[in-house]
Structure 1
Amino acid sequence: MIKAYVFDVYGTLFDVHSVIHKCNQFFPHKGSKISHTWREKQLEYSYLRQLMGNYTSFSTVTKDALRYAVHKHGEQLDPQTEKELFHAYFHLDPYPEVKEVLSQLQHKKLAVFSNGSHDMLDPLIAQSELHHLFDEIISVDEIQQFKPTLASYEHARKCLNVKPEEVLFMSSNGWDITGAKNYGFQTAWINRHHLPVEELNLEPHTIYSNLSGILEWE
């Protein structure tokens, strides 16, 4: 029996590439390339810092990844442009079905669980008008252990005061679903980009193209 519905944020509830328009304002015709490199390095830097035992908050990781992405694509980043592009992460677009799905689950315990630090998560969720739909906003920054470590998922479980098998965890990121299943959560992969399952012998319990599919767990 599912007692807590737990949602990843970036790519699951919010479209990280809704920053492309803002990137194009500063770097015409390079917005898509910069956005995709930015996201790739954002993830890579979190993995590397975890492996090296050199933790820093996701806001710092995001800024470092942005600098790399801009430089990779032959541009320079002044302090004001960096500030404006970083703040674009506070105004990401939620996916179209998100608010309706969350509204239909209000009789359940709902939580956000993200690698994002609260200085990024809280303003993003507040401006999207989704804040009142969640019981908990949980960040790995509270224990300085990035997903997909076992310790990160254990932290979320403790915050929710449930057993691992009582959690349905949703993410659009295959690596995150793999980590959550490895820990013991039930998993629903929101496979928005129709990607193959990760080859780690930890297949998702269910796969949906968007969040609407999770309503069948009711």
Structure 2
Amino acid sequence: MGPVQAVATYSAYEDRLMYVESVTPYSQLIGTNLAYVDMEMNTGDAFQQAFPQVLAAYEALVPFADVNPALKQLHDAGHQLILMSNSTRALMNAHLKHMAPVFDQVITADDTGCYKPQTAFFDYVDAHLPAGEHIHVAHGFWWDIMPATRRGWQRFWINRDHLQAPTAVQPLSELPDLKALSAQLESNN
């Protein structure tokens, strides 16, 4: 039992905990996840003891190198950019410090009262999107691409992991990162 299993266990419990009836403060969700990792890996409270470091790591997350230039390019081309995140407002404020100041709106789980991929998250977004066509761009397949598919939204999957999408979600536009998104959007018009 090593780090790979710990990460997989943490991710599995995070997904499960995001299906609660109401949003758990994200820091509490992290702590609960760590307790489940301890349980699954029989490590006492070793992972729970690392809570301050794990929370600090979440707060210090920075985007991939291609993200800020691509977002700025999209913004400069006149696209409205709306960020949808399972994060809380407090964590998102920490993340936004590392991102280009290009978002017209930021929607978090605090706003929607639930986490993606729950339908209510996307209902909230639908009610708060500007009128007209929109395009959903996301890395999260289960959390974003699947709900966007069910809604009939045009979508781009940022497939950094080079996975094979199920045929049920085709046609699906895929890009390996955000660098080519602006050019792709222009060629689609």
TM-score tier (shorter): 0.7 to 0.9
Q: Take 2:185 and 2:10, find their aligned partners in 1: how far apart are those partners?
A: 34
* CA positional deviation for 1:44: 2.3
Q: Take 2:63 and 2:37, find their aligned partners in 1: how far apart are those partners?
A: 23
Pair 152,160 (structure 1): closer, same or farther in 2 beyond 3 Å: same
- 1:42 is aligned to 14
Q: Which amino acid aligns with 1:170?
A: V
2:90 counterpart of 1:119: yes
TM-score normalised by length of structure 1: 0.72
Q: Take 2:115 and 2:161, find their aligned partners in 1: how far apart are those partners?
A: 23
Report if aligned partners of 1:46, 1:58 keep a CA contact under 8 Å in 2. no
Pair 204,144 (structure 1): closer, same or farther in 2 beyond 3 Å: farther
Q: Which amino acid aligns with 2:64?
A: Y
Where 1:207 maps in the other structure, the secondary structure is: strand
Pair 158,196 (structure 1): closer, same or farther in 2 beyond 3 Å: same
**How many residues are matched?**
181
2:174 counterpart of 1:203: no
Indicate the percent of aligned positions where both proteins have the same amino acid: 23
**Residue 134 of structure 2, aligned match among 157, 164, 167:** 167
Report if aligned partners of 1:59, 1:116 keep a CA contact under 8 Å in 2. no
Report if aligned partners of 1:174, 1:198 keep a CA contact under 8 Å in 2. no
1:138-165 Cα distance to aligned partner (Å, 9 max, x none): 11321213222332123223333234xx
List gaps (5 residues or longer) in structure 2.
Answer: none
Report if aligned partners of 2:34, 2:47 keep a CA contact under 8 Å in 1. no
2:150 counterpart of 1:182: yes
Where 1:146 maps in the other structure, the secondary structure is: coil
Report if aligned partners of 1:150, 1:183 keep a CA contact under 8 Å in 2. no
Q: Take 2:25 and 2:100, find their aligned partners in 1: how far apart are those partners?
A: 22
List gaps (5 residues or longer) in structure 1.
Answer: 1-28
1:167-196 Cα distance to aligned partner (Å, 9 max, x none): 111111221201012123211111111222
Structure with larger RCO (C-alpha < 8 A, sep 6+): 1
Q: Take 2:115 and 2:165, find their aligned partners in 1: how far apart are those partners?
A: 22
Q: Take 1:87 and 1:102, find their aligned partners in 2: how far apart are those partners?
A: 25
Q: Take 1:58 and 1:204, find their aligned partners in 2: how far apart are those partners?
A: 34
2:57 counterpart of 1:68: no
Pair 41,131 (structure 1): closer, same or farther in 2 beyond 3 Å: farther
- 1:7 is aligned to none
Pair 174,132 (structure 1): closer, same or farther in 2 beyond 3 Å: same
2:118 counterpart of 1:142: no
Q: Take 1:90 and 1:137, find their aligned partners in 2: how far apart are those partners?
A: 17
**Residue 85 of structure 1, aligned match among 46, 50, 54:** 54
2:27 counterpart of 1:59: yes
Q: Which amino acid aligns with 2:175?
A: Y
Where 2:157 maps in the other structure, the secondary structure is: strand
* CA positional deviation for 1:210: 1.2
Q: Take 2:39 and 2:139, find their aligned partners in 1: how far apart are those partners?
A: 28
Q: Which amino acid aligns with 1:208?
A: L
